[in-house]
Structure 1
Amino acid sequence: MITKSPLTRAGGGSGARERGAPGGGMATRRVEKRAVESLRGVRTADEARAWMAARRVEEVECLVPDVAGVPRGKLMPAGKFLDGAAMTMPGSIFFQTISGDYPDLTGIDVIDPADGDLVFVPDYSTLCLTPWEQDPTAQIIHDAVHRDGRPVELSPRHVLRRVISFFEEQGWHPVVAPEIEFYLVKPNTDPDYPLEPPVGRSGRAEFGRSSYSITAMNEFDPLFDDIYSFTADQGLEIETLIHEEGAAQMEINLRHGDALDLADQVFMFKRTIREAALRHDIYATFMAKPIAREPGSAMHIHQSIVDAKGENIFSGPDGEATDTFYSYIAGLQTYLPAVMAMMAPHVNSYRRLLRYTAAPINIQWGHDNRTVGIRVPYSSPAARRIENRVPSSDANPYLAIAASLACGWLGIKEGLKPTEPIEGSARHLPYDLPRGLLEAVALFEECEPLAELFGEGFVKVFSRIKQEEFETFMRVISPWEREYLLMNV
C-alpha cells in the first residue's frame, strides 16, 4: 500500500532553499518532503516488472510529449508492455499543430515524406502510477528514435537533452525549479463564451484580487486534496501551492533538480491538475491569458549550474557572484527575444505580455525585482540562481527549459556582459520582447547560434508549425472585431 504524505498549512516563507529552488510565498499550503524513489522510476525492465507486480498494474499508458507538450501515445496491457512489445507511431506526431493540422514541410531533410513509423523506447526512470484511473494503471514517458537507433531531432525531450549535453561537456549540470501558474474555471463547452471563475464550497464565485489568500484557496480544498494525493502517488515533488493574483488563479512550485526530470514532472503535473479538476466539475487551464481582465499565467524557471563536485558555479570561493553568473544573465538578455516562440508558443501567449502588469515586457535584470524579465532572488552563495520570468504557462516545459538554458549557455560561451541591474520599476521601459507570434518566429528562424544548439531541422519544423497555427487563428473572427467594426466602418 502506498501512503500519502501529510499536508500542512504554512503562513510564512518556505525557508532557505538550495541551488535553483524558488522562493516561498507569504501564505502557502505545503507538502512535507518525502522519499519518492519507490513511487516513481526504476532502472531496468526487470525492476519495472517487479514494480508493476507489486502494484498489480493491469495497463500501461505509453506517453510521448509532442511539440506542443500534448501527451500522445498508446495504452497497452501490462503483460504486453513487459514482454517488450515495440511501440511505433508515425513521425507526424511531432509536426501536428495544436488544432490538429499539418504545415507544409516540403524540402526539410528531417521529414520522412512517407510518414513512416518511429520507434518509441520507454524511459524507466519516469515510471509511476496513473492514480486517477479506476483499474491499476501505470504511465511511462517514451523517447523517440529512428529504426537505426538515432534520436529523433524533433522530439522535445531530445532537444532538451541536446542542450544539456553542452553543459555536460564542461563537467557542469544545470539545475532548475519551475513555478507553474494556472486557472480554475467553470466548465465551458462553447468557445464563443468567455471563461468564468468556478464556484467554491461557499457557493460563490471568486471576485477581486486574492493574492496569497488562504481563505480563497480553502474554497477548493477537496480539489487540492486530490491534487496532493495524485502527485504524492506519482512521486512528483511539490514544494508549495499558493493563490496567485487572478480570480481562482493558482501557482505550484516544484522542488529544484535535474532539468530533464523537472520537465518530465511539469509534463505529468499538468495532466494531473486537469484530471483532478475534472473530478470536481471544474476545468484547469494553463492558457497564458484565459480571462480578458485577469492577469496572465507564467511558468517562471529558476536556474543555476553546479560542477562535478556539486558546487554552484554562479558563486566563487569568496561567496561573490562569478563572471559566469553575469555572462549567463547577459545570454538571457541577448537571446530571449529570439527564443520567445518556444517560451510563448501560441497566439494567446502574447496577450499576457502587457505593460503595467506582473508579466515582464523587457529583458532587463535586477536583484529581487519582479518588474524585469530576469530576476535574481536574494539567497545564500550556494543557492545563487537566476529566475527567468518570461515563459508562459502554455509553453512545452521541455522546450521552455531548453530555450532558457540555451540562452545562458550562449552567454557563457560568448563571454557576454550584462547591462547594469535595474533598481525600482522597469514597467515604464520600452518593450524588448516580440509583440506577436509571427515576429517571434521570424527572430527564431534568423538566429544561427540557436540553430546550432537545437538542430537546424527542429528550428525549421517548429517555425512552420507556428506559422500554420497563426494561419488557422486568422480564419477566426473575434468578438472585438464584431463589437467595434460591425456598425462603425
Structure 2
Amino acid sequence: MQSEESRNAAIAWLENNPQVESVRVAICDLNGVMRGKRIAADQARKALDGGMRMAYSLIGMDIWGEDIEGNPLVYSTGDSDAVCHWTGRPIVPVDWTPLPTALIPLTLAYDDGRPFPGDPRQALAEIQRRYAARGLTPVVATELEFYLFDAASNEPVGPVSPVNGRRLNADGALSIDELDAFETFISEVYAACRAQNIPVDTTIAENGVGQFEINLNHVADALKAADDAILFKRVVRGIARKHGFIASFMAKPYGDRAGSGLHVHFSLLDGDGNNVFDDGTEKGTDIMRHAVGGLLRGMAQSTLIFAPHFNSYRRLRPKSYAPTAVAWGYENRMVAIRIPGGSHKARRIEHRVAGADANPYLVLASVLGSALIGMEEACDPGQPIAMDVDSHDLPRLPSDWLAAIAAFEQGKLMQALFAPELRDAFVACKQQEADTFARKVGSFELETYMEMV
C-alpha cells in the first residue's frame, strides 16, 4: 500500500490543477505498451485507493492489441479481473495532448492484495526485494536511442530541419548543428521530463539520420529507473507528434543504418553506501566479475527479453555495434558486457544487448536477476575480451526470433527469475506474433521471386 502522504500529495495535485478534467489509468503489458482507461478527474481517488479493476489477460495481449489464442492468463483465471494498485508514482502530467491530462500508473494484484507475478513491473519488484534481503541496492541508469521521422511523409524518411527546411539525409554522429536544429523539440522533452520527475541527463545526435540518444541519470531504485524509461518513451513520442515528427524506438527502422539500443548501467551499494564493485583498481572486485558471469550465463536465455520483436533481430548482426556474442571486456564497445573506464569509485557494469524496443521492466529484471544469481553462485566470467569479438570463438546469441523464444522457454535461469504466469504468457504472446509474421509476404519478397522461380 502507498503512504498516506503520497496519496494526499496526488489528491492535492488534482485539486490544484482543475484544468485537468480527465486522467489516464494504465498498466504496462509484456511488450512495454501501456494499456488502460480514460476516467474523469473526479474519479481519480478510486484509482489511487485500489478501486480500479482490469483483466489479468491485458498483460499478455500481442503487439497489435489482439487476444492471445489459448492465453494462459485467460484460461487459468476465467479471464477475471485483477485489482489495480497505484504504483505510488506522483501524478504524471501530460500536456502534449489537445487538452491537458495526466496519467496514474497502476500495477496488478490479486484480490487478497498479493502482487500478480505475471505483471512485468511486479517481476522487477521481486528482484529488487531479493537484493534488499541481501542488504544490497542496485543503482541503475539507462541510455535510450530513438529516430525521428517526418510524420507528413508516407515513407519512413528523416525529419525536415526546423532551421533550414531541408530534410536530413546523412548520418550526424555527435553533430552539434543537429542538436541546435532540434533544440526546441529537445528542450520540450526535457521540460516534460522534469514535470514527470524523469532525471534526464545528456543528449547526443547519434549515428543514424535523425537518430538521437538521451541518457537518464542513475537512481538507487531499479523500479523507478524502469518507470522512468517507460514514461520517457511516452514523452518523446508525444512531444514528437506535437512537432510533426514520429519518434520511433524500433530496434532497426532502417536496414542499412544504425540500430537503436537500450543500454543499462548499474552498480551495487551495500548497507553503508559502499560500491561493492569497487576495489580501488581498474579491475573491480570478485563480486563484480561474478555478476558478469551470471549475466553471461543468462544472456542467450534472455535474448527474447532484450530482442522481443521481429524487427529486433535486424539489429543483432555482426559489425553493427550491437552485440551478437556472449562476451565481456573492459572499455570495449564490441562486447555485450562492458566495464566502463573512469574513476574506480564509479565502477559499474554496462549491459549493451537490449534494443530500445524492449520492455524496461523485463530488461532490468533479467539483468539484475542474472547478476544476482552470478554473485550467489560465484559464476566465473572467463577472460575479458580486449579486441574484436569476431576474432574469438565465442558462444553466440540466438540469431532469430524462434530460436530466442525456444531459449527463453527452456532456460533454467529464466525459470529461476520469472514466475510461470509471466513466462507462459510471454512465450504465448511471442509465438502468436511470430506466427502472424510468418503468414505475411512482403513486397521485396514478391518482387524477387514472383516472376523468377
Alpha-carbon distance, 1:333 to partner: 1.2
Name which of structure 1's ranges 134-143 and 397-406 shifts more when overlaid on structure 2. 134-143
**Distance verdict in 2 for CA 1:168–1:110, change over 3 Å:** farther
Aligned match of 1:280? 243
Alpha-carbon distance, 1:131 to partner: 2.5
- What amino acid sits opposite 2:336 in the alignment? G
Counterpart pick for 1:291 among 238, 250, 254: 254
Aligned match of 2:398? 434
Query: How many residues are paired up?
Result: 445
Task: Give the Cα separation in 2 of the matches to 1:98 and 1:401.
Answer: 20
Name which of structure 1's ranges 477-486 and 352-361 shifts more when overlaid on structure 2. 477-486
Task: Give the Cα separation in 1 of the matches to 2:5 and 2:33.
Answer: 25
- What amino acid sits opposite 2:51 in the alignment? A
Indicate whether 1:71 and 2:34 are aligned: yes
C-alpha contact 1:355 1:428 (8 A) present in aligned 2: no
Task: Give the Cα separation in 2 of the matches to 1:154 and 1:387.
Answer: 27
Task: Give the Cα separation in 2 of the matches to 1:45 and 1:176.
Answer: 26
Indicate whether 1:141 and 2:105 are aligned: yes
**Distance verdict in 2 for CA 1:479–1:126, change over 3 Å:** farther
- What TM-score do you get using the length of structure 1 for normalisation? 0.86
Q: Deviations over 1:13-57 (max 9, x none)?
A: xxxxxxxxxxxxxxxxxxxxxxxxxxxx99432222123223334
Aligned match of 2:218? 256
Task: Give the Cα separation in 1 of the matches to 2:281 and 2:245.
Answer: 51
**Distance verdict in 2 for CA 1:114–1:48, change over 3 Å:** same
- What amino acid sits opposite 2:136 in the alignment? W
Task: Give the Cα separation in 1 of the matches to 2:58 and 2:152.
Answer: 27
- What amino acid sits opposite 1:219 in the alignment? A
- Provide the secondary structure at the position in 2 that maps to 1:253: strand
Task: Give the Cα separation in 2 of the matches to 1:54 and 1:250.
Answer: 35
Aligned 1:299-448 pairs, distance under 5 A: 299-316=262-279, 321-429=284-392, 432-448=396-412
Indicate whether 1:226 and 2:188 are aligned: yes
- What amino acid sits opposite 1:93 in the alignment? L
- What amino acid sits opposite 1:290 in the alignment? P
Unaligned 5+ residue runs, structure 1?
1-40
Name which of structure 1's ranges 63-72 and 418-427 shifts more when overlaid on structure 2. 418-427
C-alpha contact 2:176 2:205 (8 A) present in aligned 1: yes
Indicate whether 1:196 and 2:160 are aligned: no
Task: Give the Cα separation in 1 of the matches to 2:388 and 2:291.
Answer: 22
The RMSD of aligned alpha carbons is 2.1
Indicate whether 1:271 and 2:266 are aligned: no
C-alpha contact 1:356 1:428 (8 A) present in aligned 2: no
Unaligned 5+ residue runs, structure 2?
none
- What amino acid sits opposite 2:166 in the alignment? R
- What amino acid sits opposite 2:81 in the alignment? D
Indicate whether 1:55 and 2:44 are aligned: no
Task: Give the Cα separation in 2 of the matches to 1:444 and 1:320.
Answer: 32
C-alpha contact 1:210 1:216 (8 A) present in aligned 2: yes
Aligned match of 2:205? 243
Aligned 1:208-227 pairs, distance under 5 A: 208-227=170-189
**Distance verdict in 2 for CA 1:480–1:171, change over 3 Å:** same
- Provide the secondary structure at the position in 2 that maps to 1:143: strand
Aligned match of 1:86? 51
**Distance verdict in 2 for CA 1:205–1:317, change over 3 Å:** closer
- Provide the secondary structure at the position in 2 that maps to 1:44: helix
Task: Give the Cα separation in 2 of the matches to 1:166 and 1:328.
Answer: 15
Structure 1 residue runs of 4+, over 4 Å off?
108-111, 317-320, 427-431
- What amino acid sits opposite 1:245 in the alignment? N
Q: Deviations over 1:334-363 (max 9, x none)?
A: 111100111110010010011111111112
Alpha-carbon distance, 1:89 to partner: 1.4
- What amino acid sits opposite 1:166 in the alignment? R
**Distance verdict in 2 for CA 1:130–1:109, change over 3 Å:** closer
Task: Give the Cα separation in 2 of the matches to 1:290 and 1:157.
Answer: 27
Alpha-carbon distance, 1:123 to partner: 2.0
Alpha-carbon distance, 1:125 to partner: 2.7
More helix by share: 2
- Provide the secondary structure at the position in 2 that maps to 1:241: strand
- What amino acid sits opposite 1:324 in the alignment? I
Alpha-carbon distance, 1:449 to partner: 2.8
C-alpha contact 2:56 2:74 (8 A) present in aligned 1: no
Name which of structure 1's ranges 74-83 and 316-325 shifts more when overlaid on structure 2. 316-325
- Taking every aligned residue pair, what percent have the same amino acid on both sides? 34
Alpha-carbon distance, 1:112 to partner: 3.5
- Provide the secondary structure at the position in 2 that maps to 1:63: strand
- What amino acid sits opposite 1:203 in the alignment? G
C-alpha contact 2:22 2:40 (8 A) present in aligned 1: yes
